[in-house]
């Protein structure tokens, strides 16, 4: 481990001047050309829950200028009392269309969509009832106010236009006011772009990586199953731009656009270089949401702030880039009441960063959590000196996300003391190797054709299987596709330079065609095929020798046999 050295900046005013020089020389990237998605809402709302609360809320929304909402009574009132004594409320909502459902019917309600396009279906065994058409005479609802005991959309980040609350909620009036304001045309950025060609989710009908599906708190990501393949789809209308999907994606298939990851890393390195050039010492890089930064005072001079649209937009690859670029410490500023999935994602990313730093001989506490509002922790001096970045500045060799991460890890390894061992990582981390059973492997190369990265490769001029661990994201598609069950994943980070080398896992001599001598397969492949097809009538008798022929000679042999005996194929 690196020796822990207490740092005392010579002059914080000097560090402030260095930070100001950074601001003048390097501006944090903003999204210049974000695509957008649009919503159109006329304010037609569906309000559901018990009758008293539904009528109260519907009356309040109508008074705020919304068209008369549709009322759906899905639960009995708490006290089972009648509303007849509340004549004013009944009179105010008398003209609104309503429908009362039994508890059994209420459990079959299905709500989907987003602002301006919500569907509400009462699913039945024989038929379904479209509540938008039945109650409002429309194709959809624009808004949904859910006053039920259990929200129909139990999401940490529900789609825009859907609000779930109870009548006793202290924020009720503010939420009703906000809901009533969702009338008109609205735009928001399309936060992401996706390249399914890089995605490790599926191949040949097998399921691999599901990391983006697991971290989205808005449930905006779906695995879409086609006839054979599945692929990832992200609903831009439900996406809140948390960014955790992009940070969790190990291949760069999902790219956050505010800003893009590669640009974010380059700007971060430029800021650190400018800070050093201006004489700054022991910089601390703080990743925080821009909204939180706008609400607090200026940090100490040694703190360089990285404003994010959402905290999930930067993961451990970005944090380690800061350390490799010369930061003494990295602090991740969380806020209270973050979505649970985002909190779990940050926890997992911290665990991965700590495990990687430990594996490479660095102090794991160089990356730590910080809570918004804790000014003492924000401005604290770092507990260790920066790494010796001037000895070997970090440079990127590719725009590929995985390759950039590999550059960062290799740089940190050069500046540390890796022990050459494999280190355990949190479950699901995209680090690890594989083991190939040479006795079982026939070099059919199904694993290569299903691998979404360059991790696995075939030989150019001879039968072999090679593997480069740095490219492996542990998606498991190779093991799933192997017909011989010859591949086993080996999770964990290998703290050794060999992880960047391409190593042969299995190699065999080529089997030459018994007619023309051309190498066309391996001896084990031919032997396996002969054992499996020995009883097939097409290869009966002398025809079994066709399995020892190349594709050209095999076809010639079939035609020669048919020329000698035209009815030979009818005998099969």
User: What CATH number should be reported for the domain holding residue 110?
Assistant: 3.50.50
In a domain, 347, yes or no: yes
Domain end among 256, 285, 300 = 256
Q: Report H helices in 258-309.
A: 261-277, 290-294
**pLDDT tens digit sequence for 389-445:** 666 788 888 889 999 999 999 999 999 999 999 999 999 999 999 999 999 998 989
Residue 327 burial (C-beta neighbours within 10 Å; 0-12, 13-18, 19+): buried
Tell me: cis bond preceding 390? Omega within 30 of 0 counts: no
Q: Report H helices in 118-216.
A: 131, 172-180, 211-215
**Same domain, yes or no, for 270 and 411?**
yes
Domain end among 507, 523, 550 = 507
**For tokens 């542990």, what's the residue?**
474
In a domain, 3, yes or no: no
Domain end among 165, 189, 213 = 189
Task: Please state, in angstroms and rounded to a whole number, the distance separating the CA atoms of residues 193 and 211.
Answer: 16
State both tokens at 128.
């379904």
Task: Please state, in angstroms and rounded to a whole number, the distance separating the CA atoms of residues 547 and 527.
Answer: 9
**Same domain, yes or no, for 198 and 296?**
no
- The pLDDT, as a whole number, for residue 530 is 84
- The pLDDT, as a whole number, for residue 537 is 76
- Does the pLDDT of residue 45 top 90, yes or no? yes
In a domain, 287, yes or no: yes
- Does the pLDDT of residue 350 top 80, yes or no? yes
- Does the pLDDT of residue 4 top 50, yes or no? no
Q: What is the pTM of this model?
A: 0.85
In a domain, 445, yes or no: yes
**Same domain, yes or no, for 272 and 409?**
yes
Task: Please state, in angstroms and rounded to a whole number, the distance separating the CA atoms of residues 130 and 146.
Answer: 17
Task: Please state, in angstroms and rounded to a whole number, the distance separating the CA atoms of residues 130 and 132.
Answer: 6
- The pLDDT, as a whole number, for residue 111 is 96
- pLDDT band at residue 84 under the 50/70/90 scheme: low
Task: Please state, in angstroms and rounded to a whole number, the distance separating the CA atoms of residues 432 and 339.
Answer: 29
- The pLDDT, as a whole number, for residue 34 is 53
**Same domain, yes or no, for 274 and 394?**
yes
State both tokens at 36.
């957008």
Q: How far is CA 5 from the centre of its chain?
A: 37
- Does the pLDDT of residue 568 top 60, yes or no? no
3-class DSSP assignment, residue 539? helix
- The pLDDT, as a whole number, for residue 31 is 44
In a domain, 274, yes or no: yes
Per-residue pLDDT averaged across 30-56, rounded? 85
Q: What is the DSSP letter of 141?
A: B
Q: Give the range with max mean pLDDT: 6-10, 448-452, 565-569.
A: 448-452
Residue 2 burial (C-beta neighbours within 10 Å; 0-12, 13-18, 19+): middle
Contact 310, 256 (CB under 8 A): no
* CATH number of the domain residue 473 falls in: 3.30.70.3270
User: What angle do the packed helices 316-324 and 340-359 form, to 10 degrees?
Assistant: 40
**pLDDT tens digit sequence for 211-270:** 999 999 999 999 988 877 889 999 999 999 999 999 999 999 999 877 778 888 999 999
**pLDDT tens digit sequence for 339-348:** 999 999 999 9
* CATH number of the domain residue 212 falls in: 3.30.70.20
Per-residue pLDDT averaged across 549-562, rounded? 87
- Residue with more model confidence, 21 or 313: 313
Per-residue pLDDT averaged across 26-51, rounded? 78
- The pLDDT, as a whole number, for residue 80 is 53
**Same domain, yes or no, for 277 and 135?**
no
In a domain, 493, yes or no: yes
Q: 270 CB contacts (<8 Å, ≥6 apart)? A: 25, 26
Of 399, 247, 409, 403, nearest in space to 315 by CA: 247
**pLDDT tens digit sequence for 148-190:** 999 999 999 999 999 999 999 999 999 999 999 999 999 988 8
- Among 349-353, 408-412, 514-518, which stretch is predicted with the lowest mean pLDDT? 514-518
- Which residue range(s) make up the domain with 100? 38-189
Q: Give the range with max mean pLDDT: 120-129, 226-235, 497-506, 532-541.
A: 497-506
**Same domain, yes or no, for 70 and 127?**
yes
Q: What is the mean pLDDT of the chain?
A: 89
Please state the domain count of the chain. 5
- The pLDDT, as a whole number, for residue 300 is 92
Task: Please state, in angstroms and rounded to a whole number, the distance separating the CA atoms of residues 237 and 115.
Answer: 8
In a domain, 4, yes or no: no
**Same domain, yes or no, for 25 and 49?**
no
State both tokens at 368.
């730590």
**For tokens 């509340």, what's the residue?**
86
State both tokens at 432.
């690890």
- The pLDDT, as a whole number, for residue 12 is 63
Q: How far is CA 494 from the centre of its chain?
A: 24
Ramachandran quadrant class, 222 (left: phi over 0; alpha: psi -120 to 50; beta: rest): beta
Helix (H) or strand (E) holding 351: helix 340-359
3-class DSSP assignment, residue 198? helix
- The pLDDT, as a whole number, for residue 27 is 55
Beta-ladder partners of 37: 188
In a domain, 7, yes or no: no
- pLDDT band at residue 1 under the 50/70/90 scheme: very low
Give the side-chain half-sphere CA count within 13 A for 160.
Answer: 23
**Same domain, yes or no, for 73 and 138?**
yes
**Same domain, yes or no, for 443 and 396?**
no
Give the side-chain half-sphere CA count within 13 A for 258.
Answer: 22
**Same domain, yes or no, for 42 and 177?**
yes
**Same domain, yes or no, for 326 and 284?**
yes
**Same domain, yes or no, for 359 and 432?**
no
């Amino acid at each position: 481990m690196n020796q822990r050295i207490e740092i005392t900046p010579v002059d914080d005013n000097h560090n402030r001047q260095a930070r100001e020089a950074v601001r003048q020389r390097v501006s944090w990237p903003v999204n210049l050309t974000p695509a957008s998605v649009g919503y159109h809402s006329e304010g037609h709302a569906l309000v559901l829950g018990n009758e008293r609360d539904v009528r109260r809320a519907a009356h309040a929304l109508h008074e705020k200028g919304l068209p008369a909402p549709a009322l759906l009574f899905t639960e009995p009132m708490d006290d089972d009392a009648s509303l007849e004594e509340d004549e004013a409320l009944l009179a105010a909502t008398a003209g609104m269309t309503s429908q009362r459902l039994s508890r059994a019917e209420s459990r079959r309600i299905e709500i989907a969509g987003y602002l301006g396009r919500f569907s509400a279906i009462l699913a039945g065994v024989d038929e379904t009832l479209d509540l938008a058409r039945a109650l409002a005479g429309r194709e959809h609802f624009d808004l949904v106010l859910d006053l039920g005991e259990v929200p129909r959309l139990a999401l940490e980040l529900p789609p825009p236009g859907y609000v779930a609350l109870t009548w006793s909620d202290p924020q009720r009036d503010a939420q009703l006011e906000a809901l009533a304001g969702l009338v008109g045309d609205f735009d928001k950025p399309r936060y992401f772009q996706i390249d399914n060609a890089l995605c490790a989710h599926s191949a040949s009908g097998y399921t691999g990586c599901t990391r983006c599906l697991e971290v989205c708190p808005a449930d905006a990501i779906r695995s879409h199953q086609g006839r054979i393949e599945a692929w990832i789809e992200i609903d831009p209308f439900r996406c809140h731009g948390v960014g955790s999907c992009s940070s969790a994606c190990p291949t760069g298939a999902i790219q956050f656009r505010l800003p893009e990851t590669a640009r974010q890393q380059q700007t971060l390195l430029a800021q650190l270089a400018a800070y050093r050039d201006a004489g700054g010492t022991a910089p601390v890089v703080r990743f925080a949401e821009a909204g939180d930064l706008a609400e607090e005072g200026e940090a100490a001079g040694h703190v360089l702030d990285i404003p994010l649209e959402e905290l999930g937009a930067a993961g451990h690859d970005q944090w380690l880039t800061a350390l490799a670029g010369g930061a003494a410490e990295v602090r991740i500023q969380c806020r209270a009441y973050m979505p649970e999935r985002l909190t779990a994602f940050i926890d997992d990313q911290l665990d991965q960063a700590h495990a990687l730093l430990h594996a490479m001989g660095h102090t794991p506490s160089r990356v730590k959590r910080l809570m918004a509002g804790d000014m003492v922790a924000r401005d604290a001096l770092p507990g260790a000196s920066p790494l010796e970045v001037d000895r070997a500045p970090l440079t990127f060799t590719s725009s590929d996300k995985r390759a950039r991460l590999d550059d960062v890890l290799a740089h940190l390894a050069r500046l540390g003391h890796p022990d050459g061992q494999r280190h355990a990582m949190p479950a699901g981390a995209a680090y690890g190797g594989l083991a190939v059973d040479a006795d079982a492997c026939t070099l059919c190369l199904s694993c290569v054709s299903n691998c979404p990265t360059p991790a696995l490769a075939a030989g150019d001029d001879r039968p072999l299987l090679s593997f480069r661990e740095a490219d492996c994201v542990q998606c498991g598609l190779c093991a799933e596709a192997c017909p011989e069950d010859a591949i086993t994943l080996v999770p964990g980070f290998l703290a050794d330079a060999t992880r960047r080398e391409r190593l042969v896992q299995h190699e065999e001599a080529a089997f030459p065609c018994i007619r023309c001598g051309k190498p066309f397969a391996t001896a084990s492949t031919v032997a396996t095929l002969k054992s499996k097809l020995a009883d097939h009538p097409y290869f009966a008798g002398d025809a079994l020798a066709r399995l020892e022929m190349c594709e050209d000679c095999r076809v010639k042999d079939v035609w020669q046999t048919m020329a000698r005996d035209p009815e030979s194929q009818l005998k099969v």
